[in-house]
Structure 1
């Protein structure tokens, strides 16, 4: 600004950047006289246009604009003091805040955050995902064709469903649930919100004449609107809680809270931008593509030309798939022309509008301040007069009167080659523009999350650690929902060696499988890696399980629990385990057919038995209906561990966008609460009895200390104590059922191993003069081969495939550095397949662990129960019940492989998951008779 004017005395000249001159003088009647003393005005001459006089009660304003080098930012700064804003009335305080209905500086600032996202480089990154989605959509359509290759489709319904999924893939890197179904809930909700089921709202017509009715005639369907608004409000609220409302290092759009406050931009405005992306992006493109399909159906010769053109390009480039380079305008001018013509004939926005903020006149026409001006897009795109385009319909000098809404213009105008904001956005050749308000929201959604999702990229590389290349903003694990994680670890071990890094969403993690690194990190340098990440299982109880407690809290509780697993205690519990294992075998034998055969679902039968075994061993009770694999307690544990589901979609998102984690609890809520309440009642009941000496009595004793100063200082609560009871069940049954299921599979595939196990246990029983198997029968000196089979099953299938530590102090070793706060994951399946320790690592070879060979093995290449002070506290208990089951099985049954025996792994989060594994059991007594 060169000149200035006292606001109390409006005489004087104000110049803005030499581009806009703002002259204010005292109000007079008649014609404004030029100030001859202003040499600047005299020199402007014909480079200046005299545009507008406004006669107000106090002042006369003259706005003079250069015809050349016009700066829109300056126009906005002037007009924000003069204009009146157009207020949206969508029947929603949130939707009334969409970008294109904002005014002045508020609009300008939000727009500022959007534009840089649509550069050529960013577009090319997104194009690969778009191309893949388009090809998949075409393949889906082909798969639905009849024998003649024909398929009837509802254009808008099919295309809109695909586009919603495409936007989710492009911006979030995920697939929506049931995405390929045109009637999926997500697509249906947006169709209802947009009112596609209704043609018109009668109340809206009445409200045009009677404005007070407008509050009763919302533009958008109310119920889905409120649902979507509340969802996004929770997300915004979560971010506020994370930052505490204070911005220290601004990294993304939401962190600019101070700027929003200065501009009067509130929570509703931000929520509106997030919602509006899906509302319009799919609707706009759907309209254009539906009209293109109709036009092609009406004009077969155009289809032929499009086909010839794209096939020629693919042949020339040697490609079979269409990608970003294939659809460059120089390669497909005819296809692009067809899109332009479809956009001309059917612009999705029929009447983009402006509000006149100052009286305006042109060639005898005048438009008064406050008048709505509608651009009749369908009419404008059908003009037959030579040379009439959007610049004639809305000349540049007139922008000052209509700047309050973003310029939409006719669709043809938006595609003007000189328009720098025009974009070829989709691999399907939908040409759109950032001027489209809904694509603006698309950009807004990316702006809000992109910076935070990528903020840690480069951290691991700087530490000298080889890294799995990350994607745009979903880290290195963008296909996590499609990946069997423990297999991925094995492949990465083969590629990178004993250490590698990965960005799991936004979180940098280091993976180790080298025995020396495992020894250092888990044992020798435990002081650097003494903690695990803080638990967030969606439950105040489960967040307190032992292995996820920090420092002193973990150490003290571990100290109190360790005496439960002494040799003496273990022998006491072994008698109960042996009795339970014998009963289990008797139950299985009673279910066999006349040939002594029984088909079982390994995990289901084993888990039900193990839950009952733990209840009897630790709580001294028998569960109701314990022998039924579908009993309520067993079913609750299976649901709690998510055995019915492979993956939680929100968990994938929460890795990049942590504020979503509260919506994606690791454990299913209803069965979790049932188990918590049941165990709480059992502990309360035992407090009154005080008549036993088992695991539960220790918990009761600890429960009685929660009000002591020591426990309060450490944060040990009733929830902490209850969590240990649940954890014992969760870890015990899950770990043992996984290992024993794999043992059954291995035995079915290796009958010779079964024979050796049978001979070994029968020899022990004969030598000891016992008919039943007990603690002494399964001592390692008595059953070395059975024990070796269990070790080999544990090696091949450790149920916890990524035990972890958190680096609490910076650590360096041979060129690698791990920074404080970094997660370190032990890739158990990879470490247990070290070919230097285990030749032919995928083969089931129990001989590796026989006494003569076991001593030569690298102990840190057998990771199934962890290492160091934080290793599995129940390891000895687990070995006891595993050996009791294996010995009893070898005595009573042979495992027979079926035609449908197959291990199919699921994509699970924490523990090894797999589909039902079926085998046949052949009772040993009947087998001997048949032989």
Structure 2
């Protein structure tokens, strides 16, 4: 009996040792890859397992990226879990990779986010598939289409400003992220989903509840981040987006698309573009590319996620920056008043472009608080950069740490100061155009850039005609740790002070 027990113990121990050994070999399989890359000046040494930073979930990632650039230089290697990556914080190399030699860097990583719908987001599709999807959706986001959508935007914004005014009269605090998220979700619901909601009036609405879950702001990043980076197949145990929320929004999109088809109504907007794609599902072209119903629905989900989260974040930081820089705010308010006086108090798409200082404030906010932490590309064929001697092999992931470039004094003098003048038209030639990466760059840049800028400028002008911002004791920036994709900040409040200067007959 003892012999049998001993034998079983031996078998179990041997199996466990074999399993652990296999796991260690698996997670370390690519270690040493970066050290062999020619022309790569430095590599962040990996731990025994877990990559170059096993505590990434506890760190403010964009700050850590900046520290790495200071320590290792503008080009260095880094292991994200078991995956080797090359980090580049040089605008000239960014230009080469993102634009000039785009044929060598046509894709991003194909990733598993734990749900079939979200796995089909446009930016991570294989190149041929991405190209067709992007060309199908781009016509719905042209300047002309944005002009049409600006009417819906303005209606949503004016409703929102009125509701905010009521809450402020009741001495409710101005919580920028919460309030702006309510606005941007309403705008995207109207312009992208063809449905009206008012998040501030009914915070218990099921649409609002799922919007909060979709934003992932309350998601606590824990040790599962480095674990899933090391064992990517475990992502299903910790999906990035709540599955029930993805299903909820997918059903809304399906119903809106179906209603549009049944009514035979076409207004050449985002929903119409999705319906046109849906009609092609099943064709030989789409079958060959693997474009399915999930592919179509996913684009709507990403339009919603990117449309409300990043825009709300930008307006939050813009308001913060104005409160903390009263001279800048005073200059902007003067521009707002002059604009309103010229146009009889009307704020419209056709004239909002006159607000050059507002645009500069928006861009300076995007520089200091870029919503995206990093942008990436995957090398699709071996690439050589003669000036540096860097050779990037096929299959290598290239990461560009946005904040490390945006805070480099070489490209933006006095980078920690909020100076919108950098982005005024007369200073355009003084700036390196490849050092500003808030919307990405090249063919893979943000497809919704025009939409986002239009919404921000219309919203801020409507708000600043009535209010100005001042800081209070809670007005402090505290970032959520472990954010490797979107910059997210912990809630804070501002004082929104009713302005005493109004145009004749103006009320709120």
TM-score above 0.5: yes
Structure 2 residue matching 1:502: 3-state secondary structure: strand
Quote the Cα distance in structure 2 between the aligned partners of 1:889 and 1:500: 44
Match of 2:432 among 845, 849, 858: 858
What is the CA deviation profile of residues 682-707 of structure 1, one whole-angstrom value per residue up to 9, with x for unaligned ones? 22222212224121111112111112
Structure 2 residue matching 1:720: 3-state secondary structure: helix
Quote the Cα distance in structure 2 between the aligned partners of 1:519 and 1:476: 27
Whether contact under 8 Å (2:69, 2:89) holds in the other structure is yes
Task: Say if 2:320 is the partner of 1:748.
Answer: no
* Structure number with larger C-alpha Rg: 1
Q: How does 1:387-406 map to 2 (within 5 A)?
A: none
Quote the Cα distance in structure 1 between the aligned partners of 2:364 and 2:373: 15
What is the CA deviation profile of residues 721-746 of structure 1, one whole-angstrom value per residue up to 9, with x for unaligned ones? 11111110101111101111111110
Whether contact under 8 Å (2:408, 2:415) holds in the other structure is yes
Whether contact under 8 Å (1:792, 1:846) holds in the other structure is yes
Structure 1 residue matching 2:398: 3-state secondary structure: strand
Q: Give the direction of change, closer, same or farther, for the CA distance of 1:674–1:87 in structure 2 (3 Å limit).
A: farther
Q: Give the direction of change, closer, same or farther, for the CA distance of 1:855–1:875 in structure 2 (3 Å limit).
A: same
Quote the Cα distance in structure 2 between the aligned partners of 1:847 and 1:698: 38
What is the CA deviation profile of residues 426-480 of structure 1, one whole-angstrom value per residue up to 9, with x for unaligned ones? xxxxxxxxxxxxxxxxx55642321121121221122132111211111102111
Task: Work out the number of aligned pairs and report it.
Answer: 497
Whether contact under 8 Å (2:465, 2:502) holds in the other structure is no
Could you say which residue in structure 1 is the equivalent of 2:371?
A: 799
Match of 1:732 among 285, 304, 307: 307
Task: Say if 2:139 is the partner of 1:563.
Answer: yes
What is the CA deviation profile of residues 653-704 of structure 1, one whole-angstrom value per residue up to 9, with x for unaligned ones? 1222233233222212222222222222222222212224121111112111
Whether contact under 8 Å (2:373, 2:484) holds in the other structure is no
Match of 1:685 among 219, 234, 259: 259
Could you say which residue in structure 2 is the equivalent of 1:789?
A: 361
What is the CA deviation profile of residues 62-110 of structure 1, one whole-angstrom value per residue up to 9, with x for unaligned ones? xxxxxxxxxxxxxxxxxxxxxx88445xxxxxxxxxx86256xx57xx6
Quote the Cα distance in structure 2 between the aligned partners of 1:667 and 1:852: 43
Could you say which residue in structure 1 is the equivalent of 2:161?
A: 585
Structure 1 residue matching 2:169: 3-state secondary structure: coil
Task: Say if 2:402 is the partner of 1:831.
Answer: no
Structure 2 residue matching 1:900: 3-state secondary structure: coil
- 1:651 Cα offset (Å): 3.0
Whether contact under 8 Å (2:402, 2:437) holds in the other structure is yes
Could you say which residue in structure 2 is the equivalent of 1:638?
A: 212
What is the CA deviation profile of residues 820-846 of structure 1, one whole-angstrom value per residue up to 9, with x for unaligned ones? 111111111111112112111111110
| TM-score (normalizing by structure 2) | 0.93
Quote the Cα distance in structure 2 between the aligned partners of 1:749 and 1:927: 23
Quote the Cα distance in structure 2 between the aligned partners of 1:658 and 1:575: 44
Whether contact under 8 Å (1:530, 1:808) holds in the other structure is yes
Quote the Cα distance in structure 1 between the aligned partners of 2:25 and 2:19: 11
Quote the Cα distance in structure 2 between the aligned partners of 1:756 and 1:831: 28
Structure 1 residue matching 2:179: 3-state secondary structure: helix
- 1:648 Cα offset (Å): 4.4
Match of 1:711 among 286, 290, 293: 286
Q: Which runs of 5+ in 2 are unaligned?
A: 504-508
Which deviates the most, 706-715 or 736-745?
706-715
Structure 1 residue matching 2:350: 3-state secondary structure: coil
Quote the Cα distance in structure 2 between the aligned partners of 1:631 and 1:648: 30
Quote the Cα distance in structure 1 between the aligned partners of 2:103 and 2:259: 40
Match of 1:700 among 266, 275, 296: 275
Whether contact under 8 Å (1:896, 1:920) holds in the other structure is yes
Could you say which residue in structure 1 is the equivalent of 2:196?
A: 622
- 1:878 Cα offset (Å): 1.0
Structure 1 residue matching 2:173: 3-state secondary structure: strand
Whether contact under 8 Å (2:120, 2:294) holds in the other structure is yes
Give the ranges of 4+ consecutive aligned residues of structure 1 lying more than 3 Å apart after TM superposition: 84-88, 443-446, 624-631, 925-928
Whether contact under 8 Å (2:108, 2:124) holds in the other structure is yes
Structure 2 residue matching 1:777: 3-state secondary structure: helix
Match of 1:886 among 437, 453, 460: 460
Match of 2:392 among 776, 798, 818: 818
What is the CA deviation profile of residues 366-409 of structure 1, one whole-angstrom value per residue up to 9, with x for unaligned ones? xxxxxxxxxxxxxxxxxxxxxxxxxxxxxxxxxxxxxxxxxxxx
Task: Say if 2:73 is the partner of 1:497.
Answer: yes
Structure 2 residue matching 1:553: 3-state secondary structure: helix
Structure 2 residue matching 1:677: 3-state secondary structure: helix
Q: Which runs of 5+ in 1 are unaligned?
A: 1-83, 89-98, 112-269, 274-442
Match of 2:60 among 479, 484, 494: 484
| TM-score (normalizing by structure 1) | 0.52
Quote the Cα distance in structure 1 between the aligned partners of 2:93 and 2:117: 33
Quote the Cα distance in structure 2 between the aligned partners of 1:573 and 1:659: 41
Task: Say if 2:8 is the partner of 1:101.
Answer: yes
Quote the Cα distance in structure 2 between the aligned partners of 1:499 and 1:812: 14
Could you say which residue in structure 2 is the equivalent of 1:848?
A: 422
Could you say which residue in structure 2 is the equivalent of 1:361?
A: none
Whether contact under 8 Å (1:605, 1:629) holds in the other structure is no
Could you say which residue in structure 2 is the equivalent of 1:68?
A: none
Task: Say if 2:485 is the partner of 1:913.
Answer: no
Q: Give the direction of change, closer, same or farther, for the CA distance of 1:758–1:872 in structure 2 (3 Å limit).
A: same
Structure 1 residue matching 2:465: 3-state secondary structure: helix
Q: How does 1:280-319 map to 2 (within 5 A)?
A: none
